[in-house]
Amino acid sequence: MTAVDVRPDAGPTRGHRDNSRRKAILTMVGRRVLFIVPVIAVVSAGLFAAAAISPFDPLVGYLGTRYMTTSDADKALIADQMGFDNPWYSTYWNWLQGVFTGDLGISRSFNQPVSQVIFERLPWTLLLVGISLLIAILASLTLGVLAGIRSGGFLDKTVSGLSVVVQGLPPFVLSLGAIALFALTLGWLPVAGLTDGGADPTPGQVIRHLVLPVTVLAISQMPWLLLAVRESVVGSKSEGFVAGAVARGIPTPTITKRHILPTSL
């Protein structure tokens, strides 16, 4: 009698699932890219409209301490030159035209071109975002895999529950709560800035000031990825090739490493 290998061919199933996952990811990315354009337009227009109805005089902010010593004639001239008296929609349209031509205007706070202000701070912003994203990815993959493998257990319920809660919180609420607790109440971490006032940007200073924003930003980005990884692992556990591996007596760590993880991530 000839032995017949009746193990299910998992190749097409894996390939079909991988293609479906890639298609879903590309579709999600495409929708977000298309969605972000009108969002930016509406938010930027709203900021200009809100600034126009604000009780604060932009001329006071522009002149600072010089406001009290500046003559009324000079104030009127500066306001006209800076466009402070123009309707908000006119100011917004002029700004929008400048954006498409590469002219972002002059920062009233720093009295520098906006592009210069951005580029001077861009390396530190990229450092903050890069570290936060790396931590979020590593933590989400680790916790998502562990929660998926032990689905229904204490770790899964705890991680999934916290992810749902954090996902429902706006990032600014999480940020304000972290600042209130760790910076203002406990005094463990600084509120803002790259270094203490007047201090040089040494590695110790930079790391200490990055801890709070990096942690908050990473936590705010984790829920969707963690839950996606968890669902993918749970789905892979129910596949026929995993059941076949279990029936053949292959150890659970080996099944997880060779079968579940490659098809889930």
124 Cβ contact list (under 8 Å, min separation 6): 194
Of 13-27, 43-57, 67-81, 203-217, highest mean pLDDT: 203-217
Confidence of residue 168 (pLDDT cuts 50, 70, 90): confident
Mean pLDDT over 181-192 rounds to 88
Q: What is the pTM of this model?
A: 0.66
Confidence of residue 11 (pLDDT cuts 50, 70, 90): very low
Three-state SS across 166-231? HHCCCHHHHHHHHHHHHHHHCCCCCCCCCCCCCCCCCHHHHHHHHHHHHHHHHHHHHHHHHHHHHH
Q: What percent of the chain has pLDDT over 90?
A: 17
Task: Encode pLDDT of 131-152 as tens digits.
Answer: 999 999 999 999 998 888 888 8
Confidence of residue 54 (pLDDT cuts 50, 70, 90): confident
**What does the mean pLDDT of the chain come to?**
82
Give the pLDDT confidence score for residue 216 in this predicted structure: 93
Q: How many CB atoms are closer than 10 A to CB 92?
A: 20
Between CA 202 and CA 85 the distance in angstroms is: 44
Sign, CA dihedral 58-61-67-71, equals: negative
Confidence of residue 10 (pLDDT cuts 50, 70, 90): very low
Mean pLDDT over 158-175 rounds to 89
Evaluate if residue 122 carries a pLDDT over 50: yes
Between CA 173 and CA 221 the distance in angstroms is: 14
Evaluate if residue 169 carries a pLDDT over 80: yes
Task: Encode pLDDT of 197-234 as tens digits.
Answer: 777 778 888 888 899 999 999 999 999 889 988 888 88
Confidence of residue 248 (pLDDT cuts 50, 70, 90): confident
Sign, CA dihedral 144-145-147-148, equals: positive
Residue 234 is inside which H or E element, if any?
Answer: helix 203-237
Give the pLDDT confidence score for residue 265 in this predicted structure: 66
